Structure formats: C-alpha cells, structure tokens
Structure 1
Amino acid sequence: MSIRGVIFFFSSALLLLIIGMWINVEHDPEWTKYQKKYYKEHALKTEKEYAAATSEKEKESLGKELAFLKKPVYEVKQILLKGIALWSEGGNGDRVDRCMTCHLGINRVDSISEEQPFSSHPRWEVYLKNHPPETFGCVLCHEGQPRAVTDPEKAHGEVKHWLTPMNRGKLAQSSCIKCHEKNIELVGAEELWKGIKLFEELRCFGCHTTEGFGNDEHSIIAPDLTQIGTRVNITWLVEWLMMPKKFRPSTRMPDFILIKKEAVSIATYLWQNSEGFFPEMPREFDEDMIDEGYSIFESVGCLACHSDVEEDGKIHGPNLARIGEVLKYEWMVSWLLDPRAHSPKTSMPDLRLDNESAKLLAAYLTTLTSEGYKEETEEYKWLD
C-alpha cells in the first residue's frame, strides 16, 4: 500500500471514530444518566407508596404516576426566564435555564434522595414555595451557566472564562438583594443581612466606598470596596477581616475582634456588592517569566514608590512584600495596564506597559508572599 493509501486509511478510520463518538454522545448524553437514576429511585419510592395506599383514589393517582415513571420521557428541561423587569407584566425574556434537566427533584416538598442532583431544595418552604422554578429558574440565585447540560462543571460555570460561577452554599443568599433591596431581616437571607448589619454596626462605610454606603468622596480614607471580589483573594479577605494587624502591623484599619463566622458574613456581603469579575488567565509561570517580571519591576520605576521587602518604612505607595497573598493575578494585570481605569484619583502613574509586560510584572508580584504561604481556596470555594 502506498503512503497516500496509508494516510487515507488512517484518516478515514479516525473520521469514523469521531463520528461514532459523536453519535454515542448525542444518543446517550451525560444528563440522561441522571434522569434514568432519578426516575428509577422515584419509581421505587412510588411503588412502596402504592402498596401502602388504602383508598382507591390514592391508588389510581399513584398508579398513573408509576406508569409514567416506568416509561419516562428523557428530555432537556428548559425554562425561558421572564426576567426581573418583566415578571409583573407577565412577559418573557430570552435567558434560558436548563438546570432542572439534572435537578429533576429540586421542586419536590419531599426528597426522592438526599444525594445531589436528586434531592429537593433545602428549606423548600422558604425558597421555592415563593419562587417557583418555572418562573424564576435556578440561575437568578445561583448563577452558573444555565444553558450547559454536557457536564456538571460546565453547568455550574466552574470553567475558565465564565464570569459568573455558581453561588454555592450561603453565597446564594447574596442574590436576594437583587429583588429584596428594602426587605430587612428577610427570611432565607439571614447570612446576607447579618453581613449588612455588621457592615453598618462596625461603620465600615466610614472609610470605604461600597454600593449603598459611603458615597461622600471627601470622607473616604480607605480603599474602595466596590471591586473587592474582582481584586482580592477570598482566603486573604477573611483572614484580614479577623486580624488586619497580623498581616500589616502598620495598618490604620482597627481590629473589630471578629470571629470567623462574622468575617465570612461580611465577606459574603462584600462579594455580593462587588462589580464584574475578570475571566481567569493561565497562571503557569516558569522561572524565566518571573525573572523577566522582576527586571520590569526594577526598570519601570516601581521601587521609587514601593518596596518588595516587608515593613520597609521608606516608601510612598503600598508595601508589596506580600501582595501575592492579597491580589488576584487577573486584576493586577488590568491595574498595571491602566491604574486610573480602576481609580481615577490614584497617584500611581501609567507605566505604559504593553499587555505582555503587564502579565510578566504581575507574574513576579504573585511570588511576593510570606514564607510557607499556601492559598487555601477549597475552604472558601462557595464564596469564590
């Protein structure tokens, strides 16, 4: 067989393999395994209820339900959300929510199973009774990528470049304020209102700007918090709220003697009020990239205002000795490219860096951490 014939043979075989894989995925997509398992468990539960039923009417109802469960229709469950502005008018929107394709039992009062995605929604009587999924969907509170049904990671928006990953656990309460801005002590949003209350009691807005508080530009003496979720690492934020002077002894921020639960509540509130998040960038930095970043750090004049040595008192700008623990890489790149786009009154000059130089400089800055530092993001995954 000639070389051309060999190439043709293997190309054809590869094409057939790809077509076969595509047919298999289309014929038996990922979401069907969840529906099959759900309907199977639902049928077993219904059979027990049917056997225990005493009235003919109850048996008839359960019999019809059982007939469907034994021969169910496997399909994508799709809701066309009406949108906040259109609910009162009864109109439709163009945002699609397919979450219930896998979470079939989410709107049941009683759970078919405690295992996800088969269980009913926690505190159903508080959340779904008043917010039926066929109207509100799931994405309004939980975010994520509601069109995706190919795998859980994509559906939950936990992939690169998706700007709104799923709000897990208590963070979902931060969405309540989208509609219930004036409802203080709202049932179901206890964590959010606890954070707001602490924010008010501790007078955080006396120094910081954040939405709804501290809008007098002449009274603000501390960093703007409207981009806090975009800017800082969540692990650092919670630790900072508990003991600011442990991180920076010279800080003017007082120690409010918060316990961890209170710090997490405030972090929840701040995250909710934060403006849009940057898409994640690759963070695999080799030694050469970091060395190039250090050269830029020395050559563009950073050391005129900053120090990369801890507690160096002879500086004008913030000390950068542990900046890698504080700031997100993506935000650093954006800041270095155009500081005044983030803070019009900043004294930091435009360094006139191109995109590649900003990435290299930010790569070096991420290495400025304390000895033995390890970012423990898993504990706060529901916040990030």
Structure 2
Amino acid sequence: MDYKDAGVDVEAGRSFVSQIRQDVESTNRPEVLGGLGGFGGYFQMPSGYQQPVLVSGTDGVGTKLKVAQAINRHDTVGIDLVAMCVNDILTSGAEPLFFLDYLATGKLNSQQLAEVVKGIAQGCRLSGCALLGGETAEMPGFYQLGEYDLAGFCVGVVEKSKLLDGSRVQIGDVAIGLASAGLHSNGFSLVRKIIETGGYSWSDTPAIFKGNSLGAELITPTQIYVRPILELLKTEIEVHSMAHITGGGLPENLPRCLNQEQSIEVKQDSWTIPPVFNWLAQAGKIQPEAMFNTFNMGIGFVVIVPLEQTNLALDWFKGQNITAFQIGQVVSGDGTLSFS
C-alpha cells in the first residue's frame, strides 16, 4: 500500500500548486521576498513607518460554502474569505499586507479548488495584499466528496499614532453606514434552514431578484472596503472609529467600536434594506429583531466621524461612487445599540 491507496494523491497536490502559481504570483507586492513553495512566506516591512503596529485577523466563510457547493460555483467564496479578514483589520486603520489561506478537502479536485484560489487571489488584488502562501490539506474520510472548508489569516500594518481603537469617539459623533453587497458571509445556517423547511430550491427565481436564482443571489461575494477606506484616511475627514458588520449584525458589531460609557442610536429607516433580506424575512417568517441580530441588513461597514463633518464625509463617499447613509449617532450609555 501507499499514500494514494489511503486516499491522498501527493502528485495531484504538486500539480495543483503549479496550477495556482500564476494566480498567487499575480498578488505580489514589492515587499514579498522569494516565491511559492517554501516552508514559509517572506515579507519585509514597508518603508515610511516610524512606529509600525502589526494587526492580524483570521476568519472563514462558514456555511455559505454549502451554497457554493450545492450550485457548483466556486470562484467567489475566496473573495469572501479575504474580505472577512481584511475588513476586520481595516477597522483599526491598518493596511492589509499579506494573506495566507488554509484549504481542506476530502479528495483533491484540482479544477474545483483552482477556482477557489482564483477567488482568493482576486480578493487579495482587490484589497492590495499579497497571497503569501497557504496550505491545501487532503483529508479522506473527514469531508464528503466535493466538500471543502476554508480559513484565512491576514496581517496588516498601521502607524501607532494613527491606530483606531475606539478611544477617539466622542458623544455626538455620527455613524455613516456603507452599503453591503448582500448577506456577505453571515447567517447562512439560518438561510439554509429557510430554504430547507420552505421547500425552496437554489435554482428558484423569485420575482424580487429580477431573474437571478436564489443560489446566484445568495452567493454574491462580500464587499471589500479596503481601498476606499484607506483613501478616506488620507483626507482631512477625521475618522474616529470603524466597525465591520458581520455575525450578530449592527447590534453586536457597532458598539464594539465605541469608547467607554457610550452607546449608539440607529435610525432604522435611514437606509434602504436590500430585497434579499425582505425575501428571507417573509420566507422564514422571521421577526425584525431576529433579522437585525443575524444579518447586516444592507450595512456592511460603518465609519464614525464628528457631527460637523457628516456632510463632508457623505459627499466624499458619493464622489467615490460608494453608497453611504447617515444611520445613527453616539450617545451616553453602557455600550449598547438602540433603534429609533
């Protein structure tokens, strides 16, 4: 017997690395040293920092992968993977530098997983970070045929004096919400439950989606906010804090970017909720509170600015063709969110 008899094809693994090499190398930054295939990835610190602070983050795609595998669409979940990590570290003001992925499957399907890596590389290009390396694990008996799982790890850098940690937020500051691209990568266990119990199919085409199937609508990748936010931080607009709206929605994530003894009031009708959320609420008979505690409801990222700079910030986002809304204001409180 050999390793292949046990279900692990080493030669296929080597071939897969060669297949994805061009996509990986397309993400290189000047700071990348060496190439793909070593035991580690090498990255030198960018110049120009006086007191550089490294910021790291890790995340996965979750059960959204089940949708991708059900509809046999694998070129977008890699974008989700990168987005969930880089958007997190972006909230501190950090520029993403490099990314590593972990991809695990029961049996290596080179065509399928090459599509996944294409998406990861695209996410890295969109956020300006290098795909420095990764690991592909073939684990027979651990995953069903055609299944795979993803995890990602990102490192960024920010000047210590410009680090955003909530300490700059003041009472009266305004929350500006940036539009999401749909569900992003959260709440899919509930989504799948709605589809299953309601007797729906991923190929169904509800009129509200204007020709898109359920699967195509739900697989829309997570919005990456890195480039416009890094540009915003170079303007005269004072950004006091930021939040990435992921699992737990606005109620859980927005208070995380506040200072001590502060809360935030959100005007619930201050932005347009995308149709996908309305469909899910109706199909699953989900109460509004549960919807807001599970999904981003159309707001994927929030920037906190001084009250007097609200219009300046909104106009700046409009000039960048980014949909933004004034959604709330910081008030005295105990670190909670309330709707009005």
Same fold by TM (over 0.5)? no
Q: Which has the higher contact order (CA 8 A, sep 6+)?
A: 2
Higher share in helix: 1
